A and B are shown apart, each in its own frame.
Chain A
Amino acid sequence: MTTFLGTPTFQAGAGNIRGTESFPDAARKSLADTQLRANLGAATTTIRNKRIAAVAEVDDWEDLRRAGSALKADVMARLPELLVQFEENVTARGGAVHWARDAEEANRVVTDLVRATGSDEVVKVKSMATQETGLNEHLEENGIAAIETDLAELIVQLGEDKPSHILVPAIHRNRAEIREIFLKAMPGIDPDITDDPRALAMAARAHLRRKFLSAKVAVSGANFGVAETGTLAVVESEGNGRMCLTLPDTLITLMGIEKLVPSFTDLEVFMQLLPRSSTAERMNPYTSMWTGVHPGDGPQNFHVVLLDNGRTNVLADDVGRSALHCIRCSACLNVCPVYERAGGHAYGSVYPGPIGAILSPQLTGTTGHDDPNASLPYASTLCGACFDACPVRIDIPGILVHLRAEQVDSERRGLPGGQDLAMKAAGFVMGSEKRFAAVETVSKVGRVLGGKKGRITSLPYPASKWTASRDLPAPPKETFRQWWARTHEDTTR
């Protein structure tokens, strides 16, 4: 993506979409956390099995996936006209549309809108866009308290923690840890509360109830925006979304420009794909849809802020573009062997897992080998499970390979890296039959290093670069060529 540097039309996305250390470094820490691995393993196994059952009920699932994929491709191709149409329709129904080039501008626009209401407090519906821009922190800096109302976001907020999953941000916490967090940070909680999930959920209900009933301003994201009608949709479970979208006087919705669908009836596709893929339910408990302002019902002041923040970078890449089709269901996280073990924090960005590995580096662009986001396309086994699970058929493995190639190409000039050297050495050896045969003989040493287990766990530099992250299988007793020579005596020269 470095090719974009110097072309002023493109601007890198910023905010909470780049970590401070590379994926291998961050993953090493989370892999050592056995509690985290147990919590994650249990949660992802549960949801994986439930999703398969929910999807199996739908006999036109593949047709829905193909329709969803084509609809999103159509939206990307016609994005300028659809955005303008969406703006016209929201405005015609009494809403106001604002545009934000990047995270900072989005935060500023939202903060100014909140200030104009005179309120110093907002209730929030869980939203990836506001996580991305770091809106809560920005509001706090400007003297406005932002209260997360989704249970998992509340756990993260009270625990002064970071979300680690798109749908279940506190998936890395178990009930005992959540009880500790509540006891520490929730005023007025029963000190004898058990770690029963129901008891904890009811404590959150009591804690947030007064906030909901008195809040003047709410901030939300949007799952879908409909170009044809100006309708916005929020899909949720707890009713905290309905509370925020219905009771306050003012509603401010921050939405990525890619969240559009062309027409209202197109929601018939996504409202089938999303719930079964994300929470493995036939339908989520609550979905709210509103179009501008509804006199006498719900907020009478409505604003929508359209966010770019690097999305146009992604759009410019013919192969990587479909990362923008993502409907944030998180199915790819739950099936990913790498996510299941490393956890969401290792990805640095608010978008973890396979989709994060392709989305984050494209949103930010990468600045070179040491950019943490440059390591993300390698955070995968390329097993393909994410593509199978994706309800809108995003070819995540294909895009991972594409981004790896771009990264390697961008590093061709300058000092060659470890991978470059390894590949050059391999090329030299394999370029000549004699050299290859010689190396095969030497590789027998590996059998000794491998010992009885047949695995080499550490090698000296530069091979230590490889064995630091994974074992190397010891070479077999006999190479293929030796086996061939022994069993096909007549055919060898």
Chain B
Amino acid sequence: MTAREEILSRIRSALTEATAPEPIPRDYHRAPASGPGNVELFAHTVDDYRAQVHRADESTVAEVVTGLIADGARAVVPPDLPQSWRPRRDVVVDGAPTTLSTLELDALDVVVTGCTLGIAATGTIVLDGGPGQGRRALTLVPDHHICIVRTDQIVDTVPQAFQTLDPAKPLTFISGPSATSDIELNRVEGVHGPRTLDVVIVR
């Protein structure tokens, strides 16, 4: 018998006496999104993680983003980041014409991307590799991530997020900068992922 057949057969005989489970109670809050999510709550929960929250409108995004990049820092963007969101300075574009190697990425300081949605209840931004977000390594290796969230991308609850997300895409949920609590349960921001997270909310 293969391991597969044997395990499946063990499970079947383990369950012969089992009683049928009850239906799943879905009494928790799972109403679909109705209108835009709570932007103020999102700003508050993001800020609680010691990520910096900034505001802009479509005409000032580039200016705000540019102001967040330290002098002399080298920035990278995904190829399809909207022109109006790009920092006003020299940037490296990942994937145009060539995809950067991990070591090349490591030599860059800042990455600017969009996201697919933000969750107000938890202060989470979700990236799925869609337009303006780049591949996963792009938002991981540089030490500073500037993420742009449009107010119409914010949902209120975790269930609303899952009703929208596409599991066929690679998903990254980000809630504040990299952090550890492994030493006496003291939270230390910044271990392996980006040590600085700036979230720019665009109205």
List chain A positions with a Cβ less than 8 A from chain B: 9-11, 39, 42-43, 46-47, 60, 63-64, 66-67, 70-71, 73-74, 76-77, 79-80, 83-84, 93, 98-101, 105, 149-152, 155, 168, 170-171, 174-175, 178, 197-198, 200-202, 204-205, 208-209, 212-213, 226, 229, 231, 237-240, 242-243, 246-247, 257, 264-265, 267-269, 271-272, 275, 279, 281-291, 294, 296-298, 306, 308, 312-313, 315-316, 318, 321
Give 1 or 0 for each of B145-176: 1 = CB within 8 Å of chain A CB. Answer: 00000000000001101110101111111111
Knowing A70-B22, A99-B2, A239-B192 touch, does A213 contact B184 (C-beta < 8 A)? no
Stretch at the interface among B8-16, B55-63, B67-75: B8-16
User: 10 tightest CB-CB pairs across the interface, nearest first?
Assistant: A239-B193, A316-B14, A239-B192, A283-B122, A152-B182, A287-B173, A197-B183, A312-B10, A238-B191, A99-B3
Across the interface, do B159 and A105 meet the contact criterion of CB distance under 8 Å?
no
Across the interface, do A60 and B140 meet the contact criterion of CB distance under 8 Å?
no
Across the interface, do B162 and A265 meet the contact criterion of CB distance under 8 Å?
yes
Most chain A CB neighbours (cut-off 10 Å) among B25, B48, B103, B192? B192
Chain A hits for B18, CB < 8 A: 76-77, 318, 321
Knowing A264-B162, A282-B123, A291-B168 touch, does A318 contact B182 (C-beta < 8 A)? no
Across the interface, do B191 and A312 meet the contact criterion of CB distance under 8 Å?
no
Cα A231 to Cα B6 in complex, Å, equals: 24
Chain B hits for A198, CB < 8 A: 188
Across the interface, do A285 and B162 meet the contact criterion of CB distance under 8 Å?
no
Chain B hits for A64, CB < 8 A: 28
Q: Which residue of B lies closest to A45 (CB)?
A: B185
Across the interface, do B12 and A80 meet the contact criterion of CB distance under 8 Å?
yes
Q: Which residue of B lies closest to A238 (CB)?
A: B191
Chain B hits for A47, CB < 8 A: 185
Cα A11 to Cα B45 in complex, Å, equals: 48
Classify the secondary structure of A's interface with B: helix
Residues from 44 to 103 in B contacting A, C-beta threshold 8 Å = 45, 48-49, 99, 102-103
Apart from A83-B11, A201-B190, A243-B140, what 10 extra A-B contacts exist at CB < 8 Å?
A63-B27, A70-B25, A73-B21, A74-B24, A98-B3, A247-B141, A271-B173, A289-B172, A291-B169, A315-B15
Cα A174 to Cα B10 in complex, Å, equals: 44
Cα A461 to Cα B177 in complex, Å, equals: 60
Knowing A80-B8, A312-B10 touch, does A100 contact B3 (C-beta < 8 A)? yes
Chain A hits for B141, CB < 8 A: 213, 247
7 A-B residue pairs with Cβ-Cβ distance under 8 Å, sorted by A, are A63-B25, A79-B15, A201-B180, A238-B178, A257-B11, A297-B170, A308-B7
Chain B hits for A74, CB < 8 A: 21, 24
Cα A44 to Cα B21 in complex, Å, equals: 35
Across the interface, do A238 and B180 meet the contact criterion of CB distance under 8 Å?
yes
Across the interface, do A237 and B183 meet the contact criterion of CB distance under 8 Å?
no
Across the interface, do A265 and B163 meet the contact criterion of CB distance under 8 Å?
yes
Give the shortest distance, in Å, between A43 (CB) and chain B (any CB): 5
Knowing A47-B185, A267-B162, A312-B10 touch, does A239 contact B178 (C-beta < 8 A)? yes
Chain B hits for A308, CB < 8 A: 7, 10
Across the interface, do B182 and A226 meet the contact criterion of CB distance under 8 Å?
no
Cα A212 to Cα B103 in complex, Å, equals: 10
**Is B106 an interface position by the 8 A CB rule?**
yes
List chain B positions with a Cβ less than 8 A from chain A: 2-4, 6-15, 17-30, 45, 48-49, 99, 102-103, 106, 119, 121-124, 129, 135-137, 140-141, 158-159, 161-163, 165, 167-186, 188, 190-194
Across the interface, do A243 and B192 meet the contact criterion of CB distance under 8 Å?
yes
Cα A283 to Cα B184 in complex, Å, equals: 20
Most chain B CB neighbours (cut-off 10 Å) among A47, A175, A297? A297
Chain B hits for A155, CB < 8 A: 182
Chain B hits for A99, CB < 8 A: 2-4, 7
Cα A178 to Cα B186 in complex, Å, equals: 13
Q: Which residue of B lies closest to A284 (CB)?
A: B175
Give the shortest distance, in Å, between B136 (CB) and chain A (any CB): 4
Cα A76 to Cα B18 in complex, Å, equals: 10
Knowing A265-B162, A286-B174, A308-B7 touch, does A246 contact B136 (C-beta < 8 A)? yes
Knowing A170-B182, A247-B102 touch, does A306 contact B7 (C-beta < 8 A)? yes
Q: Which residue of B lies closest to A93 (CB)?
A: B168
Q: Which of B2, B27, B124, B135 contacts A67 (CB 8 A)?
A: B27
Chain B hits for A149, CB < 8 A: 192
Chain A hits for B194, CB < 8 A: 239
Q: Which of A42, A178, A285, A289 contacts B170 (CB 8 A)?
A: A289
Across the interface, do B26 and A67 meet the contact criterion of CB distance under 8 Å?
yes
Cα A239 to Cα B135 in complex, Å, equals: 15
Cα A59 to Cα B10 in complex, Å, equals: 40
Q: Which of A60, A84, A93, A150 contacts B182 (CB 8 A)?
A: A150
Across the interface, do B192 and A101 meet the contact criterion of CB distance under 8 Å?
no
Across the interface, do B167 and A226 meet the contact criterion of CB distance under 8 Å?
yes
Knowing A10-B10, A283-B124 touch, does A201 contact B174 (C-beta < 8 A)? no
Knowing A63-B25, A152-B182 touch, does A213 contact B192 (C-beta < 8 A)? no
Chain B hits for A315, CB < 8 A: 11, 14-15
Cα A287 to Cα B172 in complex, Å, equals: 6
Cα A93 to Cα B170 in complex, Å, equals: 12
Chain B hits for A11, CB < 8 A: 10
Give the shortest distance, in Å, between A256 (CB) and chain B (any CB): 11
